[in-house]
Amino acid sequence: MDDDLLASQTRAVLGAYARGMGVEATAFEGGLLTIAERPGNAPWPYLAFAVSSPGGTVLSLDPRLLDFAARAQPRQPFVAAKAEFIRQLAATAERLGPRVTVDGPNICWALGQAPERPNLPAGLQYEERDAAWMNAQLAGGRFPNGAGSGAVNARAFRNRYAVVITDRAGEPVAVGGVFDSFGLAEVGVDVVPERQGEGLGAAVVAAAVRRILERGETPLYGCAADNIRSQRTARAAGFVPVFSDTVIDAVQ
């Protein structure tokens, strides 16, 4: 592990999240809970975004949720990112009108070691696809992490490019999709069921990370807190967990 790289990447990731959530970077340093209004330039109109790091917890909220959060905020800052408080926020949001969906808790990872580009088994190769290709996959939901699914988390607006592993017929068997998260290059990964267990997930994420670094961008990896397979993929590609997040969105 490269400690200097991890430190700089962690600062970059938390700094980007702070700007995107409408707070100062010091909000992740004081061990406190910070409640802020969702910025007008947020990448999509989420209702609530909760981030908890070892140094502090931040709630970025639709203005209509600010009063509730101020009244109900827990004494221990990290509790504001836990399931019980998030359920209360979601229930309050639904009383305002929209049906909501809750995505999280997720573990978010910063890069601690630049990965090598793994060699692939015979008959497989790396290709790069653009945002238009990624968005064409949305309706079918074949690659819900690599390309996104439906209107969830505004992936149609956030998708950038993808590194894809294809077989001899040119069919994608693994996708490392890169999409915008507060100006960071987040990677989502999918491997088709018949090719799982071959290490293709870690390979395509590593290849995507190398492409991100070549472009001078900051990589980010996120996965559900109970997704052990994805956590192994993150570690194999050089990532280290640095915070958790949960998002409440209106159903489109």
The predicted pLDDT at position 151 comes to 67
Determine, yes or no, domain membership for 81: yes
Q: Are residues 54 and 160 in the same domain?
A: no
Residue 111 to residues 16, 127, 170, 171, Cα–Cα distance (Å): 14, 23, 30, 29
Q: Are residues 86 and 149 in the same domain?
A: no
Domain CATH code at residue 172: 3.40.630.30
Domain stops at, among 108, 136, 152: 108
Domain stops at, among 81, 108, 135: 108
Least confident of 44-48, 167-171, 194-198, 237-241: 44-48
Determine, yes or no, domain membership for 39: yes
Q: Are residues 162 and 82 in the same domain?
A: no
Beta bridge pairs of residue 107:
223, 244
Q: Assign 32 to helix, strand or coil.
A: coil
The predicted pLDDT at position 252 comes to 65
The predicted pLDDT at position 132 comes to 97
pLDDT 10s digits, 29-87 = 989 999 999 998 887 789 999 999 999 999 999 999 999 999 999 989 899 999 999 99
* CA nearest neighbour of 9 among 248, 246, 242: 242
Q: Are residues 38 and 65 in the same domain?
A: yes
Tokens of 218: 């900051």
Q: Are residues 100 and 145 in the same domain?
A: no
Q: Are residues 95 and 195 in the same domain?
A: no
Report d(CA 133, CA 147) in Å as an integer: 9
Q: Are residues 180 and 225 in the same domain?
A: yes
Least confident of 43-47, 212-216, 245-249: 43-47
Q: Are residues 51 and 82 in the same domain?
A: yes
Determine, yes or no, domain membership for 241: no
The predicted pLDDT at position 4 comes to 95
Residues in the chain: 252
* 171 conformational bin, left if phi > 0, alpha if psi -120 to 50, beta if neither: beta
The predicted pLDDT at position 125 comes to 97
Domain stops at, among 57, 80, 108: 108
Residue whose tokens read 């870690």: 202
pLDDT 10s digits, 119-145 = 999 999 999 999 999 999 998 889 999
Report d(CA 44, CA 157) in Å as an integer: 8
Determine, yes or no, domain membership for 211: yes
Res 199 pLDDT > 90: yes
Q: Number of folded domains in the chain?
A: 2
Q: Are residues 125 and 232 in the same domain?
A: yes
Determine, yes or no, domain membership for 162: yes
Determine, yes or no, domain membership for 124: yes
The predicted pLDDT at position 111 comes to 98
Determine, yes or no, domain membership for 224: yes
Q: Are residues 53 and 72 in the same domain?
A: yes
Domain that holds residue 165: 116-236
pLDDT 10s digits, 146-193 = 999 876 677 888 999 999 999 999 999 999 999 999 999 999 999 999
Determine, yes or no, domain membership for 248: no
Q: Are residues 198 and 216 in the same domain?
A: yes
Report d(CA 89, CA 111) in Å as an integer: 31
Residue 208 to residues 116, 193, 211, 232, 242, Cα–Cα distance (Å): 11, 20, 5, 16, 20
Query: How far from chain centre, in Å, is Cα 26?
Result: 21
Q: Are residues 121 and 216 in the same domain?
A: yes
Element (H, E) at 7: helix 3-21
